[in-house]
Amino acid sequence: MINSKQKGARFERALVKAFKEQGYDARRTQQYCGATEESSDVIGLPYIHVEAKHYKNKAFDYEWMYQAKRDAKGCLPAVFHKTDNREILVTMTLDDWFTIYREYEAGESIKEANDE
């Protein structure tokens, strides 16, 4: 159990580092010691609820998404997950993915219009 908690904490720190490298002011929440109202494992991505899962011998578990959806409180729930020696993946519902994609597409349309 301790190794599992340590692995989870290392993964959360890795996510914080990755988010910061992309320019976001991210940090782990203190939910591990019960000292926060935040239910997201990592905060700093606006409008995204981050559920972080690092596992060894398990496939994606839909319970993780149910947990993220339950705790999202108006944000888009996303499960950031990885297994040993693999890259980080992000799982979200199709509807939420389209919400993000439409924003991306709108930004690209504006950029193209400005380039003309």
Per-residue pLDDT at 35: 45
Coil, helix or strand at residue 99: helix
Please report which helix (H) or strand (E) contains residue 102, including its range: helix 94-115
**Model confidence at 84: pLDDT above 50:** yes
Return the closest-CA partner of residue 53 out of 69, 42, 38, 37: 42
Which residues are bridge partners to 52 per DSSP? 80
- What are the structural domains, with CATH classification, of the chain? 2-115 (3.40.1350.10)
Per-residue pLDDT at 7: 86
Calculate the CA 107 to chain-centre distance: 22
Q: What is the pLDDT of residues 13-50, one digit of tens each?
A: 999 999 999 999 999 997 644 444 568 999 999 999 99
Which residues are bridge partners to 48 per DSSP? 76
